[in-house]
Amino acid sequence: MKTPAGALVPVDSESQELLGKLPVGQGLRGKYSRARNLQFHRKMFALFKLAFDAWEPDDSMQYKGQPVAKDFDRFRKDMTILAGFFNPVVNVRGEIRLEAESLSFASMKEERFEQVFKAVLTAVWTRVLQTAGYRNEQEVERVLEELLRFEQ
């Protein structure tokens, strides 16, 4: 996001993490896109974070003797896929896999993003938040609005 002073600053944790890895004064080159609705984008990621924090996977799971950790990016992609927004791909073993559609500003128009949000809200509520004690999707939306007000 461009500040009144003309500086560019990160708008989300992903951007902040990327910029945090760069040394001060490092020049950047890249493609940019105008944000569709930054507040709505933040609301989507607040929904993912709320659900991720409430999600309690089986902590006894292991893979080849190693404990399996929950991962925010995997969770976000899984919820997007469960909401019905994915692309089927094939891997080198000939297996079909589902990849979540990108939620980036450049890859999705506002109207489509609104559809994705509604479907993700339903998937997240059904799979996670309903068992975490939320009464309905409207309550989840109220909590998200409060969280976003608190962030500002």
**Alpha carbons 116 and 122: distance in angstroms, whole number:** 10
User: pTM for this one?
Assistant: 0.75
**Closest by CA position to 10, among listed 93, 19, 123:** 19
Write down the CATH number for the domain with range 36-151.
1.10.3790
pLDDT tens digits, 20-78: 888 888 777 777 666 567 888 899 999 999 999 999 998 889 999 999 999 999 999 99
pLDDT tens digits, 65-117: 999 999 999 999 999 999 999 999 999 999 999 999 999 877 888 899 999 99
Residue partners of 11: CB distance under 8 A and separation at least 6 = 1, 35, 38, 41, 42
Which sequence spans correspond to the domains of the chain?
Answer: 36-151
